[in-house]
């Protein structure tokens, strides 16, 4: 086998593995619509991070009776915003769409 043939074979074997990771295959970001849709109200911050990884920015405000924490994930112009009341997901917003 030539070196080129081996490289093509290895790439062909790795492609399904990369595609199954729910990551953008070009940037390796976990900010995808599939992952965003897995995040549901009531999840903890830890559960969200297990799906999407660490957020780009975190902002926490102490509202005396509760804490409001906002996670923002960014990749270029795409974003996802998650708002937690104490440690429970209360709201989510995004500009991700099904089309590339």
Condensed to tens digits (0 to 9), the pLDDT of residues 81-96 reads 999 999 999 999 999 9
Amino acid 3: pLDDT: 62
Closest CA to 96 of 39, 26, 19, 37: 37
Between 4 and 97, the more confident residue is 97
Structure tokens of 64?
């005396």
At residue 20, does pLDDT exceed 80?
no
Per-residue pLDDT, 2 = 77
- Domains of the chain, residue spans: 23-94
Alpha helices in the chain (DSSP H): 3-19, 33-38, 45-52
> What is the mean predicted confidence (pLDDT) over 17-33?
63
pLDDT of residue 18: 41
Q: Does domain 23-94 have CATH number 3.30.420.40?
A: no
Tokens 């965003």 -> residue: 36
pTM of the predicted structure, to 2 decimals: 0.72
Structure confidence at residue 19 (pLDDT): 41
């Amino acid at each position: 086998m030539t070196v080129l043939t081996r490289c093509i074979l290895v790439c062909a074997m790795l492609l399904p593995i990369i595609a199954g990771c729910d990551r953008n295959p070009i940037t390796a970001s976990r900010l995808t619509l599939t992952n965003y849709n897995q995040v549901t109200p009531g999840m903890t911050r830890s559960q969200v991070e297990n799906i999407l990884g660490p957020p780009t920015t975190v902002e926490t405000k102490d509202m005396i009776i509760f804490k409001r924490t906002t996670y923002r994930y960014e990749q270029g112009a795409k974003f996802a915003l998650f708002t937690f009341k104490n440690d429970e997901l209360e709201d989510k917003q995004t500009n991700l769409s099904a089309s590339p």
